[in-house]
């Protein structure tokens, strides 16, 4: 038995050393062979890659499910936390709004009673006409837009034009089926306004820039940034209290106003008639006499 074992060891030792010697070379040749096969038959390699991917995909999917479940659970927890915070904030805002609603109703009732006592004439409700903006001109020389409604729809020169956010200008020219609207930023635009908090009167003047400015202020006027600017109603063409914008900057060169409306995003506007016929004979605006246009002042009260 000992002789047989020693003879097997003598035979296996050279074979083992031979295998170890040529294993490295075999791996190198196999690598080159696979590279050569990949060069020669790319379709076959792609097919093998696809088959391997298909075989491994279920395993990868099974391994990824716990990770995805944990990630979804974390995201849901974050969403619940955010919803809880939003809910608390909305409850607080709702509480404040309910308080303001109570105050507003009380003030409205008092205002109605006081108007009745002093005999204030009730303001007529405005008539609105909706029009679509079909063209715009915002150059160095003019700021205006064109609407697709005109005299046939009831538009008249001088009527106020508002957007969803506030006043944007007035009707400057009217034809049968279109109208030109002079924007607040145009250099010839002049609108009587007041500072909402202090009731300080001023004129909002355009300058063909993005922001109009306030002029004709009283010497002792104190204007601060972020104060709201609304129409004063002086002259009768515009109702009082129409929002326009907020004071953007107060400098020595002037007081600039940031408008509430972005003119670049205007699609639809509303033309409001606040009773312009009561002080201007609008029928004479478009009626030429001896080749000239005339404006008549009516005697209506």
Domain-embedded: residue 139: yes
Domain-embedded: residue 182: yes
Does pTM top 0.85 for this prediction? no
In angstroms, the first-to-last Cα distance of the chain is: 139
pLDDT by residue for the chain (301 residues), tens digit each? 555 555 655 656 666 666 666 677 777 777 777 676 666 556 666 676 677 777 767 766 666 667 667 777 777 777 887 888 888 889 888 888 888 888 888 888 888 888 777 776 666 677 899 999 999 988 888 899 999 999 999 999 999 999 999 999 999 999 999 999 999 999 999 999 999 989 999 999 999 998 999 999 988 888 999 999 999 988 777 888 999 999 999 988 789 999 999 998 899 999 988 765 544 444 444 444 444 433 333 333 3
Domain-embedded: residue 33: no
Domain-embedded: residue 24: no
Domain-embedded: residue 281: yes
Domain-embedded: residue 50: no
- Give the total number of structural domains in the chain: 1
203: domain CATH number is 2.40.10.340
Dist. CA 201–CA 232, nearest whole Å: 7
* Closest by CA position to 245, among listed 161, 153, 148, 166: 166
Tokens representing 275 are: 């009773």
Full domain range(s) for residue 155: 127-293
Burial of 269 (0-12, 13-18, 19+ CB in 10 A): buried
Domain-embedded: residue 207: yes
Domain-embedded: residue 116: no
């Amino acid at each position: 038995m000992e002789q047989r074992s020693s003879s097997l060891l003598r035979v296996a030792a050279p074979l083992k050393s031979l295998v170890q010697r040529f294993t490295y070379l075999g791996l190198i040749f196999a690598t080159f062979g696979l590279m050569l096969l990949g060069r020669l038959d790319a379709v076959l390699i792609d097919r093998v890659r696809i088959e391997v991917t298909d075989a491994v995909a279920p395993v990868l999917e099974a391994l990824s499910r716990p990770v995805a479940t944990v990630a979804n659970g974390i995201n849901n927890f974050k969403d619940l936390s955010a919803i809880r915070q939003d809910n608390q904030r909305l409850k607080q805002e709702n509480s404040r709004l309910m308080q303001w609603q109570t105050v507003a109703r009380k003030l409205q009732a008092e205002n109605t009673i006081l108007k009745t006592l002093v005999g204030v004439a009730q303001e007529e409700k405005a008539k609105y006409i909706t029009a679509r903006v079909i063209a715009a001109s915002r150059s160095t020389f003019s700021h205006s837009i064109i609407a697709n409604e005109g005299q046939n729809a009831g538009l008249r020169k001088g009527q106020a034009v508002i957007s969803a956010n506030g006043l944007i200008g007035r009707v400057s020219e009217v034809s049968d089926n279109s109208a030109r609207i002079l924007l607040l930023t145009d250099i010839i635009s002049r609108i009587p306004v007041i500072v909402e908090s202090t009731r300080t009167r001023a004129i909002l003047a355009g300058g063909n820039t993005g922001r109009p400015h306030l002029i004709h202020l009283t010497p002792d006027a104190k204007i601060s940034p972020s104060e709201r600017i609304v129409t004063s109603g002086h002259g009768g063409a515009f109702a009082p209290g129409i929002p326009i914008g907020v004071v953007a900057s107060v400098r020595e060169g002037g007081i600039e106003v940031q408008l509430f409306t972005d003119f670049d995003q205007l699609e639809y506007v509303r033309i409001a008639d606040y009773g312009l016929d009561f002080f201007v004979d609008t029928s004479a605006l478009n009626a030429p006499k001896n080749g000239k246009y005339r404006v008549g002042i009516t005697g209506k009260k």
